[in-house]
Amino acid sequence: MGSWRWFTAGESHGPGLVGIIEGAPSGIAVSRELINQDLSRRQKGYGRGGRMAIERDQVEFWGGVRHGFSLGSPIALLVKNRDFENWKQTMSPDPAPTDRQVTRPRPGHADLVGGIKYGHRDLRNVLERASARETTMRVALAAVARSLLRALHIEVAAHVIQIGSVAAPKMEYSLDQIRSSEESPVRVVDRDVQEQMIAAIDQAKSAGDTLGGVIEVVAFGVPVGLGSYTHWARRVEAKLAEAILSIQAFKAVEIGAGFAQAEIPGSLVHDPIWWDESQGWSRTSNRAGGLEGGVTTGMPLVVRAAMKPLSTLMSPLGSVDIDTKEPFLAQVERSDVTAVPPAAVVAEAMVLHVLADQLLEKFGGDSLDEIRQRVADWNDYVRRY
C-alpha cells in the first residue's frame, strides 16, 4: 500500500463522499480554504454540464486535524452531495421501494461489465460508484498532500495541452506559465489556442458529440532519488502510470518525451549530464521527464495523460436492455461535452498522492519538521556527491 495510504467511499447521488488518509505526518498545515479551492478548480471548465450547477463542494473535517494542523493520526474528510435531497429514496441504505432502476447499459461505461461482475440487475449499483464524482474526494485528499509537498518546496501544477484535434505548442512550460492557465476556461496557457479549443467544443456540442484531450502535469522541486530501479513495482513511472490510469476515462500516459521517443534516434532522446559547484548535478535537457531508471533525477517531473471523449453522447449509441434483451439507444445520465479542463485537477491530484507516498517512503519521519530536516540533509549529500 505504501507510506501514504488513502481511501475513498461514497456514491455519485448518495449522501456524500468520505476519504481517509493514513500516514500523514504531524505538523502539516491543513486549510479548509486550500481544500475548497482545489474542489472548486475541479468543477470549473468550458463544456461542463448541469451537475456542476447543483454541487458547490465544501469539505468537512471529521478527524486528524486540530487548529489548522495535522496530528499524525488518520485524517478523515467528508464532502456532502447537495443533490442527495432529490435521491433519498433511490439511494437509501435502508429497505425502500425501488425507483430509477437502470437496466440499459451505456456504451463506454462500466454499466454492463460491472453488472455482470457483481451480479447486479439494477445497473445503478454500478454507475453510482463508477462515476467520476468519486474524484471529488481524490482531489480533497490530495490538497493535504499538496500542503506536505509545498512545505518541502515541491510544487505540482497541471494544464491542458490538447482538446480534440486542437493542440498547444510543445514546449517546456514554467510553473508561472502553468499557473496562468487557471485564468483560462479550458485551462490552457496559450490564449490563441484557447479560442480554437472553445470553438471545437461548441462544434461538438452542436453535433451532439463529445471531445477528449491531453493533460500535462509537472512537478517542480522534486529531490533526486525517489523510487528505485531494484524492483518493478518501485519504479516511479510505474506508480504514476497506475495512478493516472485509475482516473475515469483516462486511457494513456507518457513520461517526458514519451511516445515520440519511439520515432527518433537516441541522440535526440537522452539528456546529457551536467555538474557545477552551485547547483550540483543536473541535465542540460529534460526529455526523460525527470526520471531515469525508475528514479527521480531532480529535474521537473513531466507526466502527460490522454483522456477519451466522454461516453455519454447527446446522439446516443446503440445498446441492449439486460432484462428484455431488446435493442435501444443508450440513455443519457450526464451532458458534458468535455471534462478535460477539470480532469487536469484530478490528474494533478494523483501525481500529488504518488509524490507524497514516495517522499515518505524515502525519508520517513513522524512530523513535518523531522522530514524537512532529512530532506535538507539529503539535498546537501546530493550536491556533494
296 near 222, Cβ under 8 Å? Answer: yes
pLDDT tens for 79-134 read: 999 999 999 999 999 998 889 999 999 899 999 999 999 999 999 999 999 999 99
Inform me whether the pLDDT recorded for 329 exceeds 90. Answer: no
Q: Is the pTM of this model over 0.85?
A: yes
Angle at 357 between CA 137 and CA 35, to 5 degrees: 30
Instruction: Quote the pLDDT of residue 315.
Output: 72
Instruction: Quote the pLDDT of residue 2.
Output: 64
Instruction: Quote the pLDDT of residue 312.
Output: 77
Identity of residue 89: Q
Inform me whether the pLDDT recorded for 314 exceeds 90. Answer: no
155 near 147, Cβ under 8 Å? Answer: no
Inform me whether the pLDDT recorded for 1 exceeds 60. Answer: no
pLDDT tens for 130-164 read: 999 999 999 999 999 999 999 999 999 999 999 99
323: domain CATH number?
A: 3.60.150.10
Instruction: Quote the pLDDT of residue 313.
Output: 75
Minimal CA–CA distance to 212: which of 196, 191, 195, 197? 197
Average pLDDT over residues 6-12: 97
Domain, as residue range, for 312:
5-384
Instruction: Quote the pLDDT of residue 279.
Output: 84
Higher pLDDT, 208 or 270: 270
pLDDT tens for 234-246 read: 999 999 999 999 9
Instruction: Quote the pLDDT of residue 66.
Output: 97
- Cell numbers 474524484 correspond to 135
33 near 41, Cβ under 8 Å? Answer: no
239 near 358, Cβ under 8 Å? Answer: yes
Task: Report how many domains make up the chain.
Answer: 1
Instruction: Quote the pLDDT of residue 278.
Output: 83
Identity of residue 67: H
pLDDT tens for 276-297 read: 988 889 999 999 999 999 999 9
pLDDT tens for 350-384 read: 999 999 999 999 999 999 999 999 999 999 999 99
pLDDT tens for 176-228 read: 999 999 999 999 999 999 999 999 999 999 988 899 999 999 999 999 999 99
